[in-house]
Structure 1
Amino acid sequence: MSQSIFSSGKNVNEAIKHGLNALGIDKEDASIEIIQREKKGFFRIGSKPAVVKLTKQRYNNQLERTSEENIHEFEELRKSLDGENEVQLEMMEGPKNFFSEIQEKVNLEQVEGKVWVKGGKLFCKSSRLRYPTISVGKGVKCYKNGEQITGTTVVAKEDEFRFETEAEEKETQWNITLDSQKLNAILAVSPGMTKKYMIRDCEPDFHIEIQAEEVIKIKNDLEYTKILEKLKSLKVAYGINHSEIMRAVNTETPGRFIIASGIKPEEGKNGWLELVVDVEKKAGPKERADGTVDFREVKFIPTVKKGQVIAVVHPPTNGKPGFTVTNEPLPAKQTFPLIVQAGKGIALIENGSKIVATEMGRPLIEYRGLIVKASIIPKHVHHGDVNISSGNIRFRGDIDIIGNVEDGMVVEGDGIINVFQNVNRASVSSKSSIKIYRNCIGSTLSAGKQNIFEAELVHLLSSIHDYTSKIILSIQQLMNLPAIKKTDYQKRGFQPLIKVLMEQKFGAIESPIKQFLEICNKGNRLLDLEWLTMAEQLRQTFLSSAANEFHSLQQMGQLKKRLEQMMEKHSQPMEQNCFIELSYALNSTIYSSGDVIIYGQGCYHSKIHAGGTLIIKGILRGGEVYAKNGAKIKEAGSEGSASTKIIVPPDKSISIDIVKEGTEIQIGKVKYTFQRELKGISARLDNDKIIF
């Protein structure tokens, strides 16, 4: 049978020591439980001893009973201790209730002079020398003996306390709406709730704050019958989803429920073209497995024979009507037939349902919405070189030059131009694509419906427009200054003010304007009148030394508007199936509305404008290149003094495997010059900074 005693001392260690001595055992043979830790008082007032419970763990029958001699020693020990070091020792064997009595005594000592909350009620145990206090927290009203209290109050045993807490109730909110086509009835539900505050339990202490905790209970009082009544009032009679209604009735979270659904109309199909032959051009010479190019493998260019069916024209198919939730028919979108325009070398047969070639050549299919134009592009094959003997070649179709294009010669065509040898100090232009299988030296290449002069002018428009806007804004701000006499400028014009602004703040506008004028002068025979008119207005506005009609705010505002219109008109997307491909370029000017691909040795001291992507699989050394859809270059720059510049729009990137020191890149308007050689760079714009 286990033997336990309670022992006290001025601290826990002393209480354990007395208890072990009383049991006559070592610490390892006892189970120790701390009942109360010591507490110091002021001049011993309010001090409390430490109390521990010790249980003998190991014993035999001989040690189970305590001799009278030991009991006598305990009594002597008790008497010998003063009040401060009082030791309370009691023996407990078997099922005696002495421990519970001691525990109750200890518990009473622990709460003496304290107050606590249990189950929403206030309890206290005041002492002769100390009364507990309470204060009231948020959301709680406290009444002491019938009067509401604020702040801190003393609690006595005879006081009567009552608590009140706040309560809030919110009704369920709901409504039913129909979408614009009445295809769905949508029930939006926000369940109600009751919010109560419950008094929180507090452990005994000399001062406590009465606090309440928020208890929220969801209360969705939406009724099924009310929803049906609302649907009836909205004339909803089709596709009611009863299971979704029940979900809404039982939901405890806000939500939207589709409680009725109509039937969407099945869309029909407009007339469409089924191509029987391949009409797409395949770009790029055949590349071997080792990365080299096989120039003998000619790119695939589709051709058809006379009488060959090119495409089948399918009529439109009508859709099926649907129904709204109010049981009204919902018509399908109207469909339209395909309009086929027969161009050169094309015949429409079987009531226009088939497109047939009447000539041999390359089929060309052009789409403009529901209008399709089909035509056969003839091919001109020139055996030998283009030189003084052959004369210039101009042909409204595809052109194959088996030899070279020599000094000063011109080749122009509407279709694909293939030059199987070299182009030397000559001009080759196409409204479609150009493929030079060898070298281009000191020449001009232009592919696309927009000519090379227009491309360069479009590139300058943005810069000129930005500076023009800033100059107009500066003039407007200056006009608001008291020192500026508006009447003088209204009479004489703003030419002096424009001159001062350009000299002191906006001198950078002069360079793009002079470039604009120079390009218009060079290409005046190929440019539309609108470009030449714009050039003259820019010259009169910003470069004229004498006042004229263009030096007014009204005229400058119109200039800004015209610049915006021309930017919008000529900034067209990349032309499909338009590209220039060649092996090598030196001292040349290359313009393409689509991609430019240089797959051989590279490009040296040339100017390139690509309306698509620029790909150089060799070296880019010297010159300036612009790529609307980004640039991918194997090696850029040189170790000498040759300047190499690569430009792309702000939303595109530049990738270079090896970039030499001194190479300049420009993304949008942000420029960066490399100070040392780097490898594997990919540059893009982020927050107006170039990052790699």
Structure 2
Amino acid sequence: MTKSITVKGETVEQAIEHALTILNLSIDDVHVRIDRQASQTRFGLKKVLAEVTVTQVSKNDERESKLSSVARIRDGQLEVSFEEQSYPMLQPSPHVELWVNGERIRERTIILPTDQIECHPITENLPATFTIRIDKEHMTATAIITPGKNIIRNLLETTWQELLIIQVTEKIQMINELTTEDIVKELLDMSITYGLCMETIQQATDTVDANEFVVARGKHAIPSQDATIDLIAYNKKQAVDEHMRVDFREHSPIPTVKAGQLIATYIPPVKGEKGITLFGDDRPVKPPKEIILRPSARVNCFQNKLYAKIDGRPMIEWRGKLVKVDVHPEYRHNADVDLECGNIHFEGDIWIGGSVHSSMFVAASGNIEIMKNCTKASIRGTKSVVIKGSIFSSTVTVGIQEKIIAILVKDLEGILAYLINIESALVQIFTLRKELPEQVPPFLLKQAIRLLLEQKYSDFMQLIKQFIQVVKNHSRRLEEEWIKLSDQLYSLFVEPLGEKQTNILYLRKLIKEAELLLEVYREEARPESILQASFALNSILYSNGNIHIRSKGVYNCSITALNDIVIKGVCRGGEIIASRNITMDEAGSSAGVKTKIQTTEGIIKIDTVHPGTSIQIGEQRHEFFTITHKMTAQINEQGKLVIQ
């Protein structure tokens, strides 16, 4: 019975030798077929074994082969034996050079006794190669190394065969003849001059494995660090971000400080370091942003540290780069607010243990908490107002000063444009007169300003007077800088006999102060203010943050919030306006009471909507004529009002 076996080995020779040992045969007794040469995967990570099939040649086959012309490979040489009237055939494999009578043979051919035959394996030398890859930021250059190969091939020994397929065995040796000069030259040819990593380049030339090496690195820019403040005692509970007011009373327990206690530390800005690309180009960094730190009279600033001067609650308020630091005292009034005690104005927080009676007024620069009701009263808080009871025919506002500031900012933008034009016109006038504007007498400059206002800038005076009047009406709610600017404008443009400050330098200083004020206040503050109550009737409620009616709803009220409005209970009659979302249990009544609900761009959600209720989002409006349950309204991607 003919024996046959398929064996794997590190090389073809090892596989054949192992097969012969298993079959206990010699090479002359078998036929060998190479199924697969030994090789490696693409990156040299895995070795593929050679595979051969060895089959025993029968006596009859051997006897018949001796009666025919045959060929074999023996000791690396091609041997041919001719018999009468028969000729052997040779077929070279792809890695064998077969020359017959000086002609390269690549296909199956018949060999004649007179042919001159040369046969030898093809040995290959593949050089190592590399490519350079640059990242999109031009900060890293990576050399991708592909090692070279020395492929040594030998003719595979066979038995006598009429058709001899000449095959080879392979031995692969990985090589890397790259030099550091090769890689450095390629980098320089690519204009990479900065950050060459010579140690890594040497590693790339030593490796015989396919691999990647970072051969050049740019210098990454170190970003600038903006100025900020570090809240020493509270930074684990309250993250401070730009455009955000930090209300510590929302935490439990309520943080307080004692007189002399450290509140926060000012951290000055740190300028970053520019980066350098592989091509030597600079990568500049943005300059750090400074903050305008404004501690109140109740805070002491010493060597970049902020200390409380009194016992109270620390408050940090951000508006763009303006940071206000204060310590709010609390005024506690255990009784009702009535004619006996009078109105209450307090710089800090107010706690009232009773109710606020008719015609009474309560105002605080911080938070207001009222334990009972408000009836025909006016309540004005800066941070928040919480009324445990109900609101009857009252006006309650939170953060109304932000609305006033928005008006002043708009007016000041117009005033600043006029001031710049007036200063430019004055310079031109006195230059034509060959006079230095800085040396013009005050009375002459006053006359020139008056003529400009009468002939060219007649609208300016109306705008100035409007600005001054708004500041005067709300002076108790505004920072000192607004009052100071108003006084300066009055002195320069309104006061008929005031010439003391009338000079061009004073005007230029006024322009700079107006520019700084706009820079600070043009950016809208984003407070976390809230107005809370259990119930409201025939009242006006305003908050520059959120409004939350906790239980019994609202009747015939005008309610405005710059953020969200949430009403637990019924909303019957009146007008509800929010900039963001509105959520309520019930709107309108079975009698068809007109109820208007409006938001700028948010979502309106109402559990029960009665006829007579209208909703509006942006410019899209809808009125209900039947009872609707679980209503959600919003604007879709096409800008249409969608009601579900």
TM-score range, shorter chain: 0.3 to 0.5
Task: Give the structure, 1 or 2, with the largest relative contact order (CA under 8 Å, sep 6 or more).
Answer: 2
Q: Which has the larger radius of gyration?
A: 1
Please, what TM-score do these two structures have when normalized by structure 2?
A: 0.47
